Amino acid sequence: MMKKVLCYWKLFVVVGMLLSRTIEADEPLVGTAERPLRIALLSGSGEYESAVTLPVWKKKLEAEYHVSCDLLQAEQEIRIDGLERLKDADLAVLFTRRIKMPVEELGPLKAYVASKKPIIGLRTASHGFQSYLEFDKEVLGGNYQNHYGKGEPTTIKLIPEAKEHPVLKGVIRERPWKSEYSMYRTAPLAEDCVPLLMASSPAADREHPAAWVRESEGRRVLYATLGGRTDFDSPEFQTLLINGVSWSTRIPLETLKKP
């Protein structure tokens, strides 16, 4: 009798696995024409004009890649409606600055963080929500401690040891380049962060990481201190961003890119 039960149980398991694979096979791949990658863009950094740059980037992404973007625009850095739509996103891109929402209204954002889905943070995302400042250390792996004097440009250079990282593919430059925006104090990073770019400034006494990636508990994160309006005009920054979308979601660019 026991042998029959075991046989039936094994048969049940095998059939279940086959059905599961059949269902999965019927589902279109994410990042294709049949199932575009869903990206939530959280915009709310008035100082760096995210309301100007993110809509332009959204248009570019949707024109060139199998991507569907949901742009959530904050109201005067006071609140950002529609956070509940994060539950449908495959990737969240945060470019907000000290949004003054009560912590109890950030439930959808914290639920997204808990889901371990990928995240990209730009510039002020390290202090994107005033009631959720721990996001910087806990999720991004950063250590934002304000910035050096305004008016001093930042010099950006690649870290030689990181030049083979997929996020830097096509970003390789022999010489550093300039960002007109002030340099952030970001060091030291969490131990599991991998710095990609370093920043220096005449106003600073040392270099600080300007971009890094992090893999933690199955989630991939990219953060860059870049993100001002003129940064978006830089081919290097644009390449870094789309590489970051591909790397963080584990979808090859060849799959994402439209014919």
pLDDT in tens, the chain (259 residues): 544 444 544 444 444 544 444 334 467 899 999 999 999 999 999 999 999 999 999 999 999 999 999 999 999 889 999 999 999 999 999 999 999 999 999 999 999 999 999 999 999 999 999 999 999 999 999 999 998 877 788 999 999 999 999 999 999 777 888 999 999 999 999 999 999 999 999 988 899 999 999 999 999 999 999 999 999 999 999 999 999 999 999 999 999 999 9
Q: Which domains does the chain have, with CATH numbers?
A: 31-143+211-256 (3.40.50.880)
Instruction: Please state, in angstroms and rounded to a whole number, the distance separating the CA atoms of residues 209 and 98.
Output: 21
pLDDT score of 46: 95
- The CA-CA-CA angle for residues 73, 230, 61, to 5°, reads 55
Instruction: Please state, in angstroms and rounded to a whole number, the distance separating the CA atoms of residues 82 and 200.
Output: 37
Specify the pTM: 0.89
Smallest Cα–Cα separation from 246: which of 160, 165, 179? Answer: 165
Q: What is the pLDDT of residues 135-149, one digit of tens each?
A: 999 999 999 999 887
pLDDT score of 149: 74
Name the one residue in this structure whose structure tokens are 């939530």: 40
CB-based contact 48:229 (threshold 8 Å): yes
Name the one residue in this structure whose structure tokens are 């890119």: 257
Q: DSSP class of residue 161?
A: G
Instruction: Say whether 174 sits in a helix, a strand or coil.
Output: coil
pLDDT score of 18: 41
CB-based contact 179:156 (threshold 8 Å): yes
Q: DSSP class of residue 227?
A: -
pLDDT score of 1: 52
